[in-house]
A and B are shown apart, each in its own frame.
Chain A
């Protein structure tokens, strides 16, 4: 509600994302892509409509239940990296595995740090790392629980072109290796082009939906008619 008027952020959204699919949500600033992402990931709830993630009806779940779903199925990568500044790179990567009560968190984290090329930096704190390195730690952190779905919010938004390319390669490489469904929000058309599917948003609506390649059709994430006040 803004000055008594209803403000509709998302409208008539019908979207189904299949397992293993990589999908880019593009659109100008304020088009509603980030809002959509937060609803898809169960961070936020729509005021109307239904949202399913791995067959779980997110719209019927409370905060705690959605947390549970996230810890089982979801990974995140953020534009601001959002590493915990007082934990080392290794500890940051371990975090989601620990939350899922994985006993082998440390070894897995070391493996993943090796995969993103940061073995040497395992005991460094975020402030001691460059932007690109921080995002690599964030990527390692996102993959440690082998999530079914990975949500990435402008993952290259804070990086220079060269680093962006490196991070994008890394992201898609790991994604293929782990068979993860990737939902990413971006302004960056080069990044969007790397995805199998591209949806475009404008004024809270989906205006375009293009498939680049054929994909597996198992439904894993559905949003039907999402509306936010």
Chain B
């Protein structure tokens, strides 16, 4: 049986299909498609890129997240500690979330090969280690190909090459660790989570976690570090974090690569912020486009509604008809938007796949479909549909309501009966829905209410200012125009005459150009900051443990070879035992009783202390003052403390700190607090004393060097005479860092292209919106005999002027927003960018001029008769 379709539905569908076919809805469809597609591709793409970059960089911690603690997490809940975590629970939760797990236990221990012994870092790993990154070994001491492996087989170990010479052994020999013997199976070439810290210089020995008990190294009181490694997709890791975080005690740390203070984490954090910001701006642009297009849609349909009403259609008939029309239109556009967004994201992936690590796609099997296309997951899908719906509803509801309320008298008196002197309060009330929708969108997207609200409020204030400024500017140009040629005169007169519509148009042009400039400027600022972070002369090698009597010859050698090096820093081990009269040791033992010694630097463990006469590079005194070299000041014992440690231990300038150095105890006042750039590849210290305090203590020395490839052999030869000096080569790490930063830059560039695309479409939509009125005007001007060239030039110049004004205002606004973003969001050096002003004005004028002229081209080439007939 055929279901009876009501007439309103029939009429609605008929209207829609004809309008779609005739291209009358192109702009509105494009606007929604643009919104959905850009959100879908930006979210999908930046999400994937974030994940890919994280996967690449998480190799630095061999996992996505690590739960680190000094005490083993018991398999089951202990009755004495009902709140504590149990390994069983963690495993179950991880399995449920499809999160992979690995474990490792770290400790220092002596290893023996016959009579020879050495102090090493034992790393006992479970069979699935590492979860991220590669553990590379080679099975012979010759430099042949390295192989990717997991934990060593039972009874075998992988060792770092240096240990071979220290223990005078070779591959296949047996070494003893604790109570058990192990065969050296291979040399560990690359250990993914090898420490960055130059002070933990112990040689690594990797054994299977299942062998750890045999060694009997785990005894009550042993200093152990347990690391539970986890990896999975972003959502799973997020929910694991949500579950785990509240249950952690003070001794348990749950960190990811970004929470580690490293140049990499810094770059990643900023890249992530940039990608989110770019996506947010994409949403704003889409919303602007939808709101412009829906207003035009409503205007165009006014006559139709009037005719319907005159012919006796009831209000509910019209309401149902238009709501259905709009819903179908939105549905169609959202669908199309998803498709376009999907294609865009795929194109994006293909464009940058050479720069992204391949493993990110095969990492989780679900990410790759049979055709080789990358699935984007549900989140981008949901947020894109949500964006589409919200845009289609919130930004169109007011125009749609006004449309339905159109008086039937339009059929008699003509269009635009809408009172133009609408009260400001009414207008404000009408903007409540779209604005709340926008803030909701921004919030859902950024999860940051402050950021969303400030973007929106800032946007409103800026738009208001722009509106006023634009009007003034148009008036001024009009006055200039009267003195210029006919085309200019007409163009500027037009501009001023339509000041109301034009200033709205101007604001959206300005916003589009502003967002564009902002994204370009921040991108280049970020890139140059990243470049500066790892300049060519970045130290790639540390010399540690240089004895006092070796200092001169090392310095001499470096000078001879022309190797650039940091100063030599003295290192004296010492323990902070008291702050003022509060003893630290007490706190530590109390913490221990609570089961909390998380081994944080500066708390309950020895610190590396140094002395300096002058403030090191990359250090800034933020409180107190650095000691002067005059005798009086230099003779007073003093210490300078690093900012974060000072905060953690609640130490202020004027407090006195007591240290134990071997058997001696010293007490010195804090005279300054320093901010240290930990990202600089140079030795950095929490505590720096003035020479008076420590210069006479026996110390070892440390230095960072930049050693070019050709100087490595002479350095090795030189150092062979000094076997006690340890060398830490961070070349591999720097290389990896450079690679990640290059990838981040590529990602940032791709997003930039998408935002440019979005901004261009907003411009086109806005120009299109004014087309009908222009048509009428061109008809009139043609009728009164205006020449084609005059019309063409005046239209071109009107748009050029509009674009140039928008470009200028956008540049000013950009300068302001970039300043705020740099100082608040990105926490980077602020800068001014006058070179982009010219670009903004030029790009605005040429783009808006071109789009305007092209849009009017058809009209300009029509005969007067056709034009008149069209507009009557």
Name which of B272-280, B302-310, B709-717 contacts chain A: B302-310
A29 to chain B, nearest CB (A): 13
Cβ of A163 within 8 Å of any chain B Cβ, yes or no, is no
What residues on A are CB-neighbors of B413 within 8 Å?
34
Given contacts A38-B412, A64-B315, contact A82 B307 (CB under 8 A): yes
What residues on B are CB-neighbors of A91 within 8 Å?
14, 18
B653 to chain A, nearest CB (A): 74
What residues on B are CB-neighbors of A78 within 8 Å?
411-412
- Report the nearest A residue to B7, measured CB to CB: A98
B802 to chain A, nearest CB (A): 29
B412 touches A96 (CB 8 A): no
Cβ of B89 within 8 Å of any chain A Cβ, yes or no, is no
Inter-chain CA distance A64–B304, complex, in Å, is: 17
Inter-chain CA distance A41–B11, complex, in Å, is: 24
Cβ of A140 within 8 Å of any chain B Cβ, yes or no, is no
Name which of A10-18, A69-77, A208-216 contacts chain B: A69-77
Cβ of A43 within 8 Å of any chain B Cβ, yes or no, is yes
A67 touches B312 (CB 8 A): yes
Complex interface bits, B13-34 against A, C-beta within 8 A gives 1, otherwise 0:
0110011001010000000000
A87 touches B15 (CB 8 A): yes
Inter-chain CA distance A98–B409, complex, in Å, is: 22
B311 touches A99 (CB 8 A): yes
A127 touches B870 (CB 8 A): yes
What residues on B are CB-neighbors of A76 within 8 Å?
310-311, 411
What residues on B are CB-neighbors of A43 within 8 Å?
310, 408-409, 411-412
Inter-chain CA distance A158–B311, complex, in Å, is: 21
What residues on B are CB-neighbors of A86 within 8 Å?
15, 18-19, 22, 24
Cβ of B450 within 8 Å of any chain A Cβ, yes or no, is no
Assign chain B's interface to a size class. Answer: 20 to 34
Inter-chain CA distance A33–B269, complex, in Å, is: 72
Inter-chain CA distance A215–B18, complex, in Å, is: 45
Cβ of B498 within 8 Å of any chain A Cβ, yes or no, is no
- Report the nearest A residue to B412, measured CB to CB: A38
What residues on A are CB-neighbors of B303 within 8 Å?
82, 84
Chain B residues 306-333 with CB under 8 Å of chain A are 306-315, 317
Cβ of B583 within 8 Å of any chain A Cβ, yes or no, is no
Chain A residues 74-109 with CB under 8 Å of chain B are 74, 76, 78, 80, 82, 84-88, 91, 95-96, 98-101
Inter-chain CA distance A84–B307, complex, in Å, is: 8
Cβ of A172 within 8 Å of any chain B Cβ, yes or no, is no
B11 to chain A, nearest CB (A): 6
A37 touches B412 (CB 8 A): yes
What residues on B are CB-neighbors of A57 within 8 Å?
none
Inter-chain CA distance A100–B872, complex, in Å, is: 30
Complex interface bits, B487-510 against A, C-beta within 8 A gives 1, otherwise 0:
000000000000000000000000
What residues on A are CB-neighbors of B870 within 8 Å?
127
Q: How many inter-chain contacts with C-beta < 8 Å in the A-B complex?
A: 83
A67 touches B315 (CB 8 A): yes
Inter-chain CA distance A26–B39, complex, in Å, is: 60
What residues on B are CB-neighbors of A101 within 8 Å?
7
A63 touches B310 (CB 8 A): no
Cβ of B10 within 8 Å of any chain A Cβ, yes or no, is yes
- Report the nearest A residue to B10, measured CB to CB: A98
Inter-chain CA distance A158–B24, complex, in Å, is: 25
Inter-chain CA distance A106–B311, complex, in Å, is: 17
B784 to chain A, nearest CB (A): 20
Given contacts A67-B313, A99-B317, contact A84 B304 (CB under 8 A): yes
B309 touches A67 (CB 8 A): yes
A1 to chain B, nearest CB (A): 13
B312 touches A71 (CB 8 A): yes
Complex interface bits, B654-675 against A, C-beta within 8 A gives 1, otherwise 0:
0000000000000000000000
A95 touches B872 (CB 8 A): no
Q: A64 is contacted by which of B307, B314, B869 (Cβ under 8 Å)?
A: B314
Cβ of A179 within 8 Å of any chain B Cβ, yes or no, is no
B116 to chain A, nearest CB (A): 92
Inter-chain CA distance A68–B313, complex, in Å, is: 7
What residues on A are CB-neighbors of B312 within 8 Å?
67-72, 74, 96, 99-100
B771 to chain A, nearest CB (A): 15
B444 to chain A, nearest CB (A): 35
A82 touches B306 (CB 8 A): yes
B225 to chain A, nearest CB (A): 72
A169 to chain B, nearest CB (A): 23
Cβ of A153 within 8 Å of any chain B Cβ, yes or no, is yes
Complex interface bits, A26-45 against B, C-beta within 8 A gives 1, otherwise 0:
00000000100110010110
What residues on B are CB-neighbors of A80 within 8 Å?
414, 872
A74 to chain B, nearest CB (A): 7
What residues on A are CB-neighbors of B311 within 8 Å?
70-71, 76, 95-96, 99
B18 touches A87 (CB 8 A): yes
- Report the nearest B residue to A82, measured CB to CB: B307
A188 to chain B, nearest CB (A): 18
A99 touches B313 (CB 8 A): yes
What residues on A are CB-neighbors of B872 within 8 Å?
80, 131, 158
Inter-chain CA distance A100–B24, complex, in Å, is: 28
- Report the nearest A residue to B408, measured CB to CB: A43
A150 to chain B, nearest CB (A): 12
What residues on B are CB-neighbors of A96 within 8 Å?
311-312
Given contacts A67-B314, A74-B312, contact A38 B409 (CB under 8 A): yes
Inter-chain CA distance A158–B22, complex, in Å, is: 26
- Report the nearest A residue to B313, measured CB to CB: A99
What residues on A are CB-neighbors of B306 within 8 Å?
82
What residues on A are CB-neighbors of B11 within 8 Å?
95, 98
Inter-chain CA distance A101–B317, complex, in Å, is: 12
What residues on B are CB-neighbors of A100 within 8 Å?
312
What residues on B are CB-neighbors of A125 within 8 Å?
18, 22
- Report the nearest B residue to A138, measured CB to CB: B307
- Report the nearest B residue to A151, measured CB to CB: B310
B14 touches A87 (CB 8 A): yes
Q: A34 is contacted by which of B309, B310, B412 (Cβ under 8 Å)?
A: B412
Inter-chain CA distance A88–B18, complex, in Å, is: 9
What residues on B are CB-neighbors of A68 within 8 Å?
312, 314
Complex interface bits, B186-217 against A, C-beta within 8 A gives 1, otherwise 0:
00000000000000000000000000000000
A100 to chain B, nearest CB (A): 8
Inter-chain CA distance A127–B312, complex, in Å, is: 25
A163 to chain B, nearest CB (A): 13
Chain B residues 856-872 with CB under 8 Å of chain A are 869-870, 872
Inter-chain CA distance A34–B304, complex, in Å, is: 20
What residues on A are CB-neighbors of B14 within 8 Å?
87, 91
Given contacts A78-B411, A87-B14, A127-B870, contact A99 B315 (CB under 8 A): no
Inter-chain CA distance A100–B313, complex, in Å, is: 8
B199 to chain A, nearest CB (A): 76
**Closest 4 pairs between A and B when the two form their complex, measured CB to CB:** A71-B312, A70-B312, A86-B18, A86-B19
Q: A64-B314, A99-B308 are in contact. List 15 more A-B contacts (CB 8 A).
A: A43-B408, A43-B411, A64-B315, A67-B314, A67-B408, A69-B312, A70-B311, A71-B313, A78-B412, A80-B414, A80-B872, A84-B303, A86-B24, A98-B7, A98-B10
Q: Which residues of B contact A (CB under 8 A)?
A: 7, 10-11, 14-15, 18-19, 22, 24, 303-304, 306-315, 317, 408-409, 411-414, 869-870, 872
Q: Which residues of A contact B (CB under 8 A)?
A: 34, 37-38, 41, 43-44, 63-64, 67-72, 74, 76, 78, 80, 82, 84-88, 91, 95-96, 98-101, 125, 127, 131, 153, 158
Q: What are some 30 contacts across the A-B interface (CB < 8 A)?
A: A37-B412, A43-B408, A63-B315, A64-B315, A67-B309, A67-B312, A68-B314, A71-B311, A71-B312, A72-B312, A74-B312, A76-B411, A78-B411, A82-B303, A82-B306, A82-B307, A85-B24, A86-B15, A86-B18, A86-B19, A87-B15, A87-B18, A91-B18, A95-B311, A96-B311, A99-B311, A100-B312, A101-B7, A125-B18, A153-B412
